[in-house]
Amino acid sequence: MTVMKIAGAQLGAIQKADSRESVVKRMIALLDEAATKGANLVVYPELALTTFFPRWYMENQAEIDFWFETEMPNSATQPLFDHARDLNIAITFGYAEKTPDGHYYNTSIITDRHANIVGKYRKIHLPGHSEYDTQRAFQHLEKRYFEPGDLGFNVWRNEGVVMGMAICNDRRWPETFRCMGLQGVELVAIGYNTPSVNAQMSDEGLDKRLFHSQLSLQAGAYQNATYVVGVAKAGVEDGHPLMGGSIIVDPDGFILAKAMTEEDELIIAECDFAKCDFGKKTIFDFERHRRIEHYGRITSQTGAIVEV
């Protein structure tokens, strides 16, 4: 069975004015640190190459397109791919994708240790709203700039491990993890940008927001007997705080490593994928214990219907 050292490369704030090239330099510095610590895979956050631009309301299409990548790798990210190949480290990171036929997605890719892209995921659960909302303390316009992902929740056997990806808000939905659990997932990589403040409940408090993130990642890991890596983009971006709290979780739901700052910070843990077996063969042996005849509502009904 495979043992890998998995690193989470939390990124601190990226300002609107920061270039992709400057961010890639920071990502490469974290990659170098990961290499010195023996990492085999490095997980970067959602929309890793730019500031979290969906907080800004834009109408001009050229202004919007500035934040999107039309190819991957491209000139800004090629040094990251080259460096990862030289160090023999697989990577996964998120970026805004514009397809050749004009579709817009919040995307992440995963490579093998030769920098070949082996998997792509497009974010399915898009939070927020599509028009300027005067009721919010700040905007979260993912529904304006992205379409829901069209690729589903897939997994890939990468470097001997069954790997899947999800992005930020996806981690709060058990369906995300279960769709990959049903394909035998052993490692779920999830990048996120989570504001430290709730735009619709300003007194919520950071502790509660960190707790909900951890709770979701730990539950997803335990209930599907898989490792989960959740990696933040954190820090204050042009006056807007994003929380940290990056963690690596084992298949029992225990936290193996945790970020302590809201800056560029590497966390790392040794993951023995044989540890996924026990849960998959006992309490979460889906074949023996799931009761799909009672789960019809999950795929036939979207919102709650109260009939009593």
Site residues (vs ligand CDV, CB under 6 A): 46, 127-128, 140, 168-169, 172, 192-194
Q: Between vectors from CA 63 to CA 60 and to CA 66, what angle results, nearest 5°? A: 150
Least separation, in Å, of the C-beta of 245 and ligand CDV? 11
Nearer Cβ to ligand CDV, position 40 or 139?
Answer: 139
Q: Between vectors from CA 58 to CA 53 and to CA 59, what angle results, nearest 5°? A: 150
Least separation, in Å, of the C-beta of 194 and ligand CDV? 4
Catalytic annotation on 21?
no
CA dihedral sign, ordered 68, 72, 77, 80: positive
Please give the structure tokens belonging to residue 32: 């170098």
Catalytic annotation on 123?
yes
Nearer Cβ to ligand CDV, position 200 or 282?
Answer: 200
List of E strands, 102-219: 104-111, 117-122, 155-158, 161-167, 187-192
Q: What's the gap between Cα 214 and its chain centre?
A: 13
Catalytic annotation on 159?
no
The closest of 75, 83, 149 to 113, measured between CA atoms, is 83
Please give the structure tokens belonging to residue 27: 């990502």
Nearer Cβ to ligand CDV, position 40 or 176?
Answer: 176
Least separation, in Å, of the C-beta of 139 and ligand CDV? 10
For the chain, the distance separating the N- and C-terminal CA atoms, rounded to the nearest angstrom, is: 51
Active-site residue, from 97, 142, 168, 237: 168
b/e per residue 201-218 (b: at least 16 CB within 10 A): eeeeeeeebbeebbebbb
Nearer Cβ to ligand CDV, position 31 or 232?
Answer: 232
- Biggest CA pair distance of the chain: 62
Least separation, in Å, of the C-beta of 192 and ligand CDV? 5
Least separation, in Å, of the C-beta of 167 and ligand CDV? 7
The closest of 274, 271, 250, 267 to 37, measured between CA atoms, is 267
Least separation, in Å, of the C-beta of 172 and ligand CDV? 6
**Residue 190 contacts by C-beta under 8 Å, 6 or more apart in sequence?**
43, 165, 166, 167, 168, 170, 171, 217, 228, 229, 230, 231
Nearer Cβ to ligand CDV, position 11 or 161?
Answer: 11
Least separation, in Å, of the C-beta of 240 and ligand CDV? 12
Nearer Cβ to ligand CDV, position 5 or 258?
Answer: 258
Per-residue 3-state assignment (H helix, E strand, C coil) for 260-285: CCCCCEEEEEEEEHHHHHHHHHCCCC
Active-site residue, from 97, 123, 186, 280: 123
Distance CA 72, CA 115 (A): 11
Residues recognised as catalytic: 46, 123, 168
